[in-house]
Amino acid sequence: MSPTSPLETPAAAPEPGNAAEQRLLRLSIAVTVLLALANMAAGLWLGSRTIVFDGVYGLADTVMTVLALVVSRLIARGDDRRFQFGYWHLEPLLTAVNGIVLALACAYGALDGINGLLHGGNDVAGVPATLIGLGNGVVSLAMAGFLVGRARRLDSQLLRTDLRAWTIGGVFGLGIGIAFAAAEAIDATLGGMARAYADPLILAVLALALLPLPIGQIIEAMRDILQITPAALDAEVAMIAAEVAAAHGFVDSRSHVVRSGRVQFVEIGLLAPPDWSPGSMAALDRVREDIAARLGGRDAGRWLTVDFTADERWI
């Protein structure tokens, strides 16, 4: 083997946590469908735009979670001849689509709420609406609390996306319950039309308040889709490359990093002096093992390529 040949890690194997990720996504789908259908039925019964919207929002999120489960299974398959680096790139793509769908849902909810205000509102029974809203909020935040540690432990962007949706739903539910309770209290003490305008007003305010969350999700995903290297990761890899170069007698190093979802593609070039002898294959492998160890060990979520050359043009 020539000293300019790349030493590459084997193809990424399925992650050990992938089965756990899929179980959590299936659980999330089941709970979301039940909650969404219950909200739509309750909203139609009460004549509440807000509660119906909450159910529709939940169904839209269910579709995205089903797609997340499909992507998780594709990632578990590893690489093939058509996708030789695996299916990791679908993770940020789905995250972006999910954010767009939720942002459109929030925008539609805000417009529907404003339209309701302009047309005189609609009288919704405050007590059942309050109980439904609070119940939705408690269930959604309980699911978010259940997922938060698991999403972090599995380092799953799919689960983080689902967690964000449950958090949004939880805040939305609690806000609905509190606002309906406040409108009912105002009508009971002061009289007036607070209850009639509560439903569209709650819908408009909460939809606008939640809109920045999916927008932030879209921006985060687009950074991965456009392969914008995180500054902290770039600095860390460059520092490791320089340290390894100095430790093993190389005169310079270069590094390139791309992140796509939970996978990192790292390429490091090491420049040797003109009279450098590459030694044995085992010696080159030890350099690569040193780099891998400093990066955190061999990881299915990291593709590492190390080039050795005495010609600066190759790095």
DSSP 236-266: HHHHHHHHHHHHTT-SEEEEEEEEETTEEEE
CA distances from 199 to 44, 107, 186, 213 (A): 13, 16, 14, 22
For residue 199, count other CB atoms closer than 10 A to its CB.
30
Q: Do 237 and 255 meet the contact criterion of CB atoms below 8 Å apart?
A: yes
Look up the pTM and report it. Answer: 0.68
The Cα 283–Cα 260 span in angstroms is: 31
Report all structural domains of the chain as residue ranges with CATH numbers, in order of start. 18-225 (1.20.1510.10), 228-314 (3.30.70.1350)
How confident is the chain (315 residues) per 10-residue block, as mean pLDDT?
37 55 87 90 86 82 80 75 76 85 86 85 79 91 90 80 83 84 78 73 84 87 83 89 89 87 84 81 87 79 84 81
The Cα 50–Cα 106 span in angstroms is: 11
Structure tokens, 156: 């799953």
The Cα 159–Cα 108 span in angstroms is: 25
Q: Which pLDDT score is estimated for 138? A: 93
* Amino acid identity, position 269: G
Q: Which pLDDT score is estimated for 168? A: 79
